[in-house]
Structure 1
Amino acid sequence: MNALTLPDVAAQAARQALPLDWVGMHGIAIPVFIDGQRLTALADAGVSLDDGEARGIHMSRLYLALEALDNVALTPGLLRCVLEQFLESHEGLSRSASLHIHTELLLKRPALISPLAGWKRYPVSIKANLNNTVFHVELQIQIAYSSTCPCSAALSRQLIQQQFVDDFANKPLEHAEILAWLGSSKGIVATPHSQRSTADLKVRLNAKVDELPLLSLINEAEAALGTAVQTAVKRADEQAFALANGQNLMFCEDAARRLNIALKRSADIAAFEIHVVHAESLHAHDAVAHSRWNREAS
């Protein structure tokens, strides 16, 4: 008996001829290797459907092409190879391809003072696009940090000054008494408000970059902000964190400007967008700042 030919409905002509910008799959479970870590990730893979007469694409070919990511470090070169395979398997149908990978980088971060350390997660996305021969990679990273309001700090200092006047006006100043006053809740009558904040960084890499500079971008951003959230801490670490916040007051505008300056120094970056959110502890709404930059336009 002759083997029957299995039907290929996707190869049939479309009922209405019309090209489509993107067709593919979202949420494909894959492993990826980044900075020596094997991470669980979700991938969005697709191509354009430029042949408007075609009924559809071959999604299984895209899925199978993702096997190239197994057990190999994720690099711009590897991403390009996968996208080229997307297009080769859709010759005559598609002229552009994209791959968007969502994962979380897990980094062990040391405490500020003590020998403790703990793991911190960083949500990251890697997006690669290939349009004919034009290829680029974008990285998106989310970083959590603490921000103390400069206005609230100034108002708190004024209240402490007023309390000092109330307690010591027309009295001889004794060192021991003042020292005790500074260490009491009676003396420090007000404290500035701070909040957990997030910075979303979206950067486009230069074409010559051959590795994904995720770790260096995270380190540069956290150094610019100065108050990255901590993991395992002792009291000495908590005190050091309080000192860092007190010496590092910032509005969301300050944070966005610091990140802008830091990212411009990176030779790996061709363009970026910054989205900063300070989740207010005073207000029921958030304070937000945006910044963008393009090397070619500067």
Structure 2
Amino acid sequence: MLNKTELNPASFLLNGVPGLEDIHIWISFPFCFMYVVAVVGNCGLLYLIHQEDSLHKPMYYFLAMLSLTDLVMCSSTIPKALCIFWFHLKKIGFDECLVQMFFIHTFTGMESGVLMLMALDHYVAICYPLHYLTILTNPVIAKVGFVTFLRGVLLIIPFIFLTKRLPYCRGNIIHHTYCDHMSVAKLSCGNVKINAIYGLMVALLIGGFDILCITVSYTMILQTVVSLSSADARQKAFSTCTAHICAIVFSYSPAFFSFFSHRFGGHTVPPSCHIIVANIYLLLPPTMNPVVYGVKTKQIRVCIVRILSSSKDTKTHSV
């Protein structure tokens, strides 16, 4: 008969990156730098979109959703990881672990969903430019954004109950920097088959569906762009999609590596590599998205230059 402590441990110990404990302090520096860039960049984008009337358009509303999602996603993991690396604060309460798990998986699903919505936005803008503003009205944007968030919440909530029901009698050390669903479930001596199957099902429902929509959208976009008679029009259409394609690459590349290496890599990929890639998966998109959109999007560049110029002129006049 399992006692209450075995069913619900009071806390877990997050062990960081297994095998690389001696260089945790060195691993922390790029993590910290990327996190600072992510927070400053995404907060800057949100402020810019809020302040500038010229950015009050569907494309930038979706970009604001992406920035907000990125902020929550990386802030759910990196501060705790830095506490592990710098101060050896490895302890995390059982309920706190479940909350972290919920936020991580909900907002990674939200990230994928927003990228899908942005692909549909580009599809409407390029294939139906005359009807763009009548199709993507503010109420429509609010509804699809809420549905994307709700999809993540409803699909991830079962993770919490599936994890909480398990008996934990294989210790309380999680060889990770955060509470990933299967990393926690593997500490159980119960049957985790349902957890594994449901996790795969959610990955297919969210990732598979979103990737399919993105693929179909860009196939239609490519057909439309190729049919354009003007070379300048084709160039403009392609440049519109560049930043979004970069965001897709930054988001899905580490996700695919992590997914396939876990299932097919066996013992060929060391655990430390799994953990580092799992962190990059949550940190790289929030770091790179504001940089890419700031560089590749002309309207954002113009707004940034104007704000910097006005602040410089203000300082000059004050002197």
Give the TM-score normalised by the residue count of structure 1. Answer: 0.26
**Greater fraction helix:** 2
Give the TM-score normalised by the residue count of structure 2. Answer: 0.25
User: Which structure would you say has the larger RCO, counting Cα contacts within 8 Å and 6 or more residues apart?
Assistant: 2
- Larger Rg, first or second structure (1 or 2): 1
